[in-house]
Chains A and B, each alone.
Chain A
Amino acid sequence: MELRSNAPEGPIETAWERHRFDMKLVNPANKRKFTVLVVGTGLAGGSAAATLAELGYNVKAFCFQDSPRRAHSIAAQGGINAAKNYQGDGDSIYRLFYDTVKGGDFRSRERNVYRLAQLSVEIIDQAAAQGVPFAREYGGLLANRSFGGAQVSRTFYARGQTGQQLLLGCYQALSRQIDAGNVEMHARTEMLELIVDNGRARGIVTRDLLTGKIDTHFGDAVILATGGYGNAYFLSTNAMGSNATAAWRAHRKGALFANPCYTQIHPTCIPVHGTHQSKLTLMSESLRNDGRVWVPKKKEDCGKDPRKIPESDRDYYLERKYPAFGNLVPRDIASRSAKEVCDEGRGVGPEVDGRRLGVYLDFADAIERLGEDAVRDRYGNLFEMYERITDENPYKTPMRIYPAVHYTMGGLWVDYNLQSTIPGLFVLGEANFSDHGANRLGASALMQGLADGYFVIPYTLGNYLGHHGREILANTVDASSASTKAAVGDVEARIEKLLGIGGKKSPDHFHRRLGQIMWDKCGMARNKAGLEEALVEIPKLREEFYSNLAVPGSGDDFNQTLVKATRVADFLEIGELMVRDALNREESAGGHFREEHQTPEGEARRDDENFTYVAAWEFNGVGVEPTLHKEQLEFEYVKLTQRSYK
């Protein structure tokens, strides 16, 4: 299979504009003839569903939550980047493009990223018009802040709830279309299979989570906007329901999965408190602006009250190793360094499974320098959240933090039109692999989700239907089609199988164990031996899952254990692919750090000669080695350089 990006040639600045002109249009009367299925209603899916309905398509939207307003986009805190240059501080579309490509460690497609930077400005206009209450200056104009070490202030925000406000704006636009009858909304509905007919994505098989009813929905194109697969690690900052099933099912049906090993680990999360922990909570990275990270020099001090450990016995390891950037090194470096000191046995906090996983983030100096009030002004709400969760007062005793899985840069492979390798299957937002390369910059996830949904898919979908609409309409797919029957039969068999195992352990039990393998062997730092072990352990765990899983209740009502089981079953397969990809990528890039590939100083070392490609995997069966396809990446505008934060 040859992977073609379908990105327009020629000057990058006008690529999208020229592409838009070259695309076919669907006239308004014909739009009504087409039905589009949108799975997932977060920023990407919600904005796509609303916009396509506004344009006149028939849209059916699906989400597993009880309302589209609860998609996990809602939890994004920090902000959204846009190259508005309202602050006049030297920002531009080109700079945002440049920063994103570089931040992604040169593993993304230049033309996609450039378009993203271009569209970023329209997103802010759209959101403001919807009534999103962005932060403002006293003069009434929009406020910006610098985020994640960016040298310009290009981040727009609504307190620490930017994701919430953007999602509500998009949910409201969607609600308007639902009320107008242009979108048929199916909440509490999970997609369990993709229907591919005659080589095109034509429908989905869903399960109504309340009644257990297996249903089919048909359309002329299918859009997946189902988020990332970070929950393969069990513990992550993702929502409990976030899952990879829709994307994984599409992968099994022929969509290539790109760069699954690129996972972003966020350094400032609240550490695990015990074995019953269900998820991790992120705290804004801005804490590192004033907090100092340290651990005790001596292992014996790790259980002590940190306030009683003298200055001379503390190791401010980031300041020691990276004197220039200190506590402000990028996410991946901060995360990895924390893991290193904890692996040395110098972690702090309560012991969980015999290990202390945490490092101090100390504000004592900042409080002495600025006063407690100034610190409260800057971080009051974060300190409050920390105290609520840990019952420790960070004004008095140092915070404890530890990295956690936060975002997955990998996803289904898509071309410039956001179309996967299955014609008619489009993938948006975190579910695709497109724009962030090997590492995503802060405040860029919201930007990508909305750019895809509001401003890319409405054009590229029209182009697809303009070209192939007639052929699609001529080929009716319904419940009696062989492809549908096979897909429904497969779903029913899976459900029956999960219900019939009659074992002893809950889905969470297996999920937790999978997470442990993933975190230990395919987490912040990976090595060949560990990855190879994981390749043995995961299939074993999968086998155990299918022999000892307990799912009480039946398949025809609200059975949350069954729902969980269907998701864990797919995580057990995607986990293996992540490991394989990590094993294949014999370099360190962004969120993927291979211990074998580092500089003598312990920095990530890319191998541009051999790995400047997107690794897109083709499914060949469970437990069967997948086929690797490569999309070579060209860097015409941004010169390949090695990052250095010394």
Chain B
Amino acid sequence: MKITLHVWRQKSAKDRGDFETHRLDDVSADSSFLEMLDQLNDGLVEQGREPVAFDHDCREGICGACGMVINGYAHGPRALTTACQLHMREFGDGDEIWIEPWRAKAFPVIKDLAVDRSAFDRIIGAGGYVSVNTGSAPDANEIAIPKKIADQAMDAATCIGCGACVAACPNASAMLFTSAKVSHLGMLPQGQVERFDRVRNMVAQHDAEGFGGCTNHGECEAACPKGISLEWIARMNRDFLKAMVAERDTVSAR
């Protein structure tokens, strides 16, 4: 198939950036979207031009490295699918495709379609863990966990940290990401001890990174390739307000 690409090119965070148009005449409908970009890049390299930079790694939809806004949709038009798992057959012969990076102040562009998502690491570092040193764990079956709770925790834990929620959110908010980890750990017995400190510290870090606030549009949930639910944001709000208003012994914030 033939396609026309309008790809965002930006040399560095300081550069203004603009779209660059390329035509590809021989794209296989069975190629993945990123393989199509590989093909574009191979051609560019062979002409001695710089290829389009983009992050990607596992190409199985689990590492969360890839991510770009394709024709206005984070990870492209197919629901529950990362860019690497999107296939060219989703597009028609002769289509024009617009590709932009995730856009958020907290995700500065590194180059072209690659952005810096280290803010997510810092949000996890602020409290997205259970403080248990290696070697101090009791037997794994010591604490029984209702299957339903374990399953729900798994639903939340399935987040891949790709940043599509931020990209899709009209406010560039990372509440879905933050709430997924807050809820995963907050639901399990192992996470109870630090539950209120965790939510407060993680939300504080979320805010410090310059993400917007949630205004309940629901775009994140729709864009999430793993189907993380808006329900977790409500749950986080609940825990956060409780932590701030009711849990007096946990007010010594970071």
Contact = CB atoms under 8 A, between A and B. Distances in A.
A and B in contact, CB less than 8 Å? yes
Given A129-B190, A131-B130, A239 B58 contact: yes
Interface string A227-253: 000000000010111000000000000
B203 to A, nearest CB: 15
A84 B142 CA distance: 13
B134 A458 contact: yes
Interface stretch (B46-54, B69-77, B93-101, B237-245): B46-54
Interface in B122-146: 122, 124-126, 128-141, 143-146
Contact of B141 (A141, A187, A506): A141
Contacts of B126: 179
Interface in B32-86: 32, 34-36, 38-39, 41-42, 44-46, 48-51, 53, 55-60, 62-65, 81, 85
Contact of B63 (A74, A179, A210): A74
Nearest to B157: A133
A608 interface: no
A498 B53 CA distance: 19
Contacts of A140: 144-147, 150
Contact of A70 (B48, B57, B81, B136): B57
B30 A558 contact: no
B50 A552 contact: yes
Pick from A133, A179, A458 the residue with the most CB of B within 10 Å. Answer: A133
B9 interface: no
Given A175-B121, A550-B45, A70 B145 contact: no
Contact of A558 (B35, B114, B154): B114
Interface residues of B, number: 80
Interface string A436-455: 00000000000000000011
B56 A558 contact: no
A125 interface: yes
Contacts of A128: 137, 140, 143, 190
Contacts of B129: 130-131, 172-173, 175-176
B31 interface: yes
A168 interface: yes
Contacts of A124: 140
B191 interface: yes
B85 A388 contact: yes
A295 to B, nearest CB: 21
Interface string B99-117: 0000000000011001011
B4 interface: no
Contacts of A388: 81, 85, 87
Contacts of B12: 557
Given A130-B130, A241-B57, A278 B38 contact: yes
Interface residues of A, number: 84
B153 interface: yes
Interface string B180-199: 00001100101100000000
A70 B65 contact: yes
A640 interface: no
A44 to B, nearest CB: 13
Given A274-B31, A276-B38, A210 B62 contact: no
Contacts of B34: 278
B48 A550 contact: yes
A138 B139 contact: no
A171 B124 contact: yes
Interface string A491-518: 0000000000000111011000000000
Majority SS at the chain B contact face? loop
Contacts of B29: 391
B50 A126 contact: no
Interface string A512-555: 00000000000000000000000000000000000000111100
Nearest to A554: B50
A75 B65 CA distance: 12
Interface stretch (A156-164, A419-427, A617-625): A156-164
- Could you say which of B111, B129, B154 has the most chain A C-beta atoms within 10 Å of its C-beta? B129
B158 interface: yes
A158 B157 CA distance: 10
Interface stretch (A61-69, A313-321, A353-361, A597-605): A61-69
B120 interface: yes
B190 A136 contact: no
A75 B62 contact: yes
B51 A557 contact: no
Contacts, number: 228
B50 A553 contact: yes
Contacts of A164: 62, 158, 160
B190 A142 contact: no
A414 B138 CA distance: 31
B212 interface: no
B51 A176 contact: no
B28 interface: yes
B192 to A, nearest CB: 10
Contacts of B216: none
A421 B131 CA distance: 36
B227 interface: no
B161 interface: yes
A133 B45 contact: no
A69 B161 contact: yes
A391 B140 contact: no
Contacts of A66: 55, 65, 116-118
A240 B56 contact: yes
A455 B45 contact: no
Contact of A129 (B31, B36, B48, B137): B137
B154 A278 contact: no
Interface string B158-187: 101100000000000000000000001100
A47 to B, nearest CB: 7
Contacts of B48: 550, 552
Given A172-B124, A276-B31, A552-B48, A239 B59 contact: yes
Contacts of B114: 558
A54 to B, nearest CB: 5
Contacts of B59: 239-240, 278-279, 281
A178 B145 contact: no
Contacts of A158: 154, 157
Interface of B: 11-12, 28-32, 34-36, 38-39, 41-42, 44-46, 48-51, 53, 55-60, 62-65, 81, 85, 87, 89, 110-111, 114, 116-118, 120-122, 124-126, 128-141, 143-147, 150-151, 153-154, 157-158, 160-161, 184-185, 188, 190-191
Given A168-B157, A276-B38, 17 more contacts: A67-B117, A72-B58, A137-B147, A171-B124, A172-B124, A175-B125, A179-B126, A210-B110, A274-B28, A278-B34, A282-B60, A350-B30, A390-B30, A558-B110, A559-B50, A560-B53, A561-B51
6 contacts: A141-B144, A277-B31, A278-B34, A389-B85, A553-B50, A561-B41
| Interface pairs A-B: 10 shortest CB-CB | A140-B144, A179-B125, A129-B137, A172-B129, A128-B140, A506-B45, A133-B154, A125-B137, A273-B30, A175-B125
Interface of A: 47, 50-51, 54, 65-70, 72, 74-75, 84, 86, 122, 124-131, 133-142, 158-159, 161, 164-165, 168, 171-173, 175-176, 178-179, 185, 187, 210, 237, 239-241, 273-274, 276-279, 281-282, 350, 388-391, 454-455, 458, 504-506, 508-509, 550-553, 557-561
